[in-house]
């Protein structure tokens, strides 16, 4: 069986790495890794291949940056050539970036079955580009691998046949558990003179937060208030750094600004943080698996299980709410959570088992 796995952007790499490892266990599977190049610089791409022990891509499309339409169109044009040449039996797409939807569209029109890993997640906010990518990819996929029961329910409500839906757990947690020991060896704390549980970790990149001067200023104001009580460590996404400069929003010296980090260094920072503040989807999951309190700087989440069962609290971009919840944690009242069912590091094995059976 010839299987093409598509990766395009930073969030995809952690999801594909366990699948590549699981497929290697079977001589009957021929794995072909295609990198669309949606993320392409060292900090956002190459370092993740090194940290996650991902093999170098068999094919690199090199589409680069651009508008949503430009990226999606470029991926479709180049992916069609690859699929025509390789004639795969299955195409695996992961997550919700533009490359995910583009590759799925191409495969379906070439009558190649599509498996979507991390299917069924819904924020119910259609202003998010990722939400559109999720909805459309799920509608045309043949195998929908979900991380949690709520994702199954979303798909059934949308009329998708239960025969296509497989609740297998969260493949992101496969990567986390596989790399946890290695991440513990990272020297990142000593490099930046940090001590475990003596800092909060911040990530911020979502357009709704960083492309609005008002929203970004609100969040930075809250972060500066939090930093009066605990150090805040902030690896700055390239998009966010650009907006901070463009809007002329200064950041106090009590916030430690870092460049984008590799997977292992970031995981070490996450494991040792007192709590996390983020607008990332994957970090909500990782924080729950690590039992680290998480404040999500959004009003909605496509991963509600991290709120209902995990350590996640939605605080939006309201400065008062962010500061209030952060101080609640610092006052010794963190949210208690548990790791959801099937988040056990064996999701990729279950996915491959389903594909072999089918």
Active site residues: 205
Helix 10-23 × helix 171-184 angle, to 10°: 90
Cβ atoms < 10 Å from Cβ of 241: 14
> In what helix (H) or strand (E) does residue 146 lie, and over which residues does it extend?
strand 143-146
Q: Regarding beta strands 30-35 and 275-278, do their DSSP bridges make them parallel or antiparallel, or are they unpaired? A: unpaired
Residue written as token pair 């072999």 = 356
Burial 60-83 (b: 16+ CB within 10 A, else e): ebebeeeeeeebbebbbebbbebb
d(CA 294, CA 228): 19
- Residues 69, 107, 56: CA angle, nearest 5 degrees: 85
Helix 263-272 × helix 281-290 angle, to 10°: 50
Which is nearest to 118 in space by CA: 185, 44, 48, 171? Answer: 171
Burial 274-292 (b: 16+ CB within 10 A, else e): bbbbbbbbbbbbbbbbbeb
């Amino acid at each position: 069986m010839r299987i093409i796995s598509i990766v395009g952007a930073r969030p995809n790499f952690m999801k594909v790495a366990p699948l590549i490892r699981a497929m290697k266990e079977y001589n009957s599977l021929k794995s072909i890794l295609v990198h669309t190049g949606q993320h392409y610089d060292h900090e956002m791409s190459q370092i993740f291949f090194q940290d996650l022990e991902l093999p170098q891509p068999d094919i690199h499309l090199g589409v680069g940056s651009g508008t949503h339409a430009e990226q999606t169109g470029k991926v479709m044009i180049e992916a069609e050539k690859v699929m025509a040449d390789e004639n795969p039996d299955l195409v695996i797409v992961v997550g919700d970036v533009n490359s995910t939807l583009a590759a799925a569209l191409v495969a379906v029109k070439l009558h190649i079955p599509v498996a979507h890993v991390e299917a069924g997640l819904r924020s119910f906010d259609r202003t998010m580009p990722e939400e559109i990518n999720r909805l459309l990819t799920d509608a045309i996929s043949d195998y929908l691998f979900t991380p949690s029961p709520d994702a199954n329910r979303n798909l059934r409500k949308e009329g998708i046949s239960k025969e296509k839906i497989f609740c297998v757990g969260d493949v992101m947690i496969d990567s986390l558990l596989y790399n946890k020991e290695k991440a513990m060896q990272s020297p990142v704390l000593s490099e930046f003179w940090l001590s475990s549980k003596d800092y909060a970790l911040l990530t911020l990149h979502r357009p709704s937060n960083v492309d609005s001067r008002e929203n970004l200023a609100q969040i930075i104001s809250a972060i500066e208030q939090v930093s009066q009580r605990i150090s805040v460590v902030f690896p700055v996404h390239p998009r966010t750094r650009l907006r901070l400069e463009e809007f002329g929003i200064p950041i106090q010296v009590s916030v430690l600004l870092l460049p984008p980090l590799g997977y292992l260094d970031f995981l070490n920072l996450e494991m040792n943080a007192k709590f996390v503040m983020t607008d990332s989807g994957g970090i909500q999951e990782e924080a729950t698996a690590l039992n680290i309190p998480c404040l999500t700087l959004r009003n909605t989440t496509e991963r509600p299980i991290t709120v209902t069962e995990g350590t996640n609290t939605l605080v939006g971009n309201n400065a008062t709410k962010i500061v209030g919840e952060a101080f609640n944690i610092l006052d010794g009242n963190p949210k208690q959570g548990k790791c959801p069912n099937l988040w056990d590091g064996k999701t990729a094995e279950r996915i491959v088992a389903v594909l072999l059976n089918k």
